Amino acid sequence: MTYSIAVAGATGYAGGELLRLLLAHPQFEIGVLTANSNAGDRLGAHHPHLIPLADRVLADTTARNLAGHDVIALALPHGASGAIAAELEQLSPDSILVDLGADHRLTSADAWAAYYGGEWAGAWTYGMPELMLGQQERQRDALRAAKRIAVPGCNVTAVTFALAPGIAAGVIDPTDLVAVLANGVSGAGKAPKAHLLASEILGAASPYGVGGVHRHIPEIEQNLGHVASAPVRISFTPTLVPMSRGILATCTAKLTGTVPASDIREAWSRAYADEPFVRLLPEGVWPSTAMTLGANTALVQVAVDERAGRLVAIAAIDNLVKGTAGAAVQSLNLALGMPETLGLSTIGVAP
């Protein structure tokens, strides 16, 4: 059986990556593609690498153009999905909607108001199948047959995978977490901005969202809160580095001292033993973003800094695949009753 899927925001990085994955998926048929300012263009003018779709003409992003497909993917800027999703509830109530933006991720209206502003659109089923809700329970059960799916933030994905097993096992203190990330510039979107010019980013690394203001903070705390015995508090600092894709999240946390250092690694080993896309690397092997390029994988490593009394957990992902479009496809596979891994690869591209 095949499922028709429309993609709104097809000219952006997230929309383009989703289309790349959908072209390799045996059970999706790509339908209407839409854009805002680029409506009327051919897709190839914006994504020349998507050769099978290069001659598709982009329609306006309206609910009427998107309606009627089995699946509708919203790869729109933050704050833009809520209104069109509300229209689609009326025009296409039987469609599965998947939001690759932030509009439906947060379960707290107060958190939305504090970090995004504007009207909260409500929470949808969270699109991270591996999310720990307990020692055994995972989010994938909630995604089976879901009709409204909110894809996680890319930074959130990396930090969650790095820290959740230790919090669930009680070996690290959830009130004393620090995460510093190296981020590829595609995570900032495709809109032309001065600080993303090659002349600005090449040969430079620059922090942003410093001092507890980054919009992914409440989502990280929301995720880790599922398994925490105390309120989650994290100091989170992302840094733009001169690469197009990838996130390397270096996270540290205070050890609780309840588990011997020699046994701490076991918490991550147990958590990811059966996960098809999250891998704890062999001891002494550290993640690199290059290992994940183009793949729906999250690679994790942990170590104990005994002198500092802290755990170090590092995770690497491709922000456009496992951090965005891959998570969407993985969640849709579950929602439609298909194998979770269908159309997704753990094979990266190197060099």
- State the Cα–Cα distance between residues 154 and 320, nearest whole angstrom: 8
Helix axes 13-23, 326-335, angle to 10 degrees: 50
Q: Quick check: 58 and 95 in contact, CB under 8 A?
A: no
Nearest to 183 by CA among 152, 155, 218, 225: 155
Angle at 347 between CA 290 and CA 53, to 5 degrees: 95
Helix axes 154-169, 261-272, angle to 10 degrees: 120
Catalytically annotated residue among 75, 154, 234, 314:
154
| 175, burial (CB in 10 Å: exposed 0-12, middle 13-18, buried 19+) | middle
Known catalytic residue: 251? no
Sign of the CA dihedral 279, 282, 288, 291? negative
- State the Cα–Cα distance between residues 293 and 304, nearest whole angstrom: 27
| 211, burial (CB in 10 Å: exposed 0-12, middle 13-18, buried 19+) | exposed
Tokens representing 332 are 């849709």
User: What is the residue whose two structure tokens read 């980013």?
Assistant: 201
Dihedrals φ, ψ of 237, to 5°?
-135, 110
Give me the residues paired with residue 298 across strands: 278, 317
Please state the separation of Cα 257 from the chain's center in Å: 32
- State the Cα–Cα distance between residues 49 and 256, nearest whole angstrom: 49
Where in the sequence numbering do the catalytic residues fall? 154
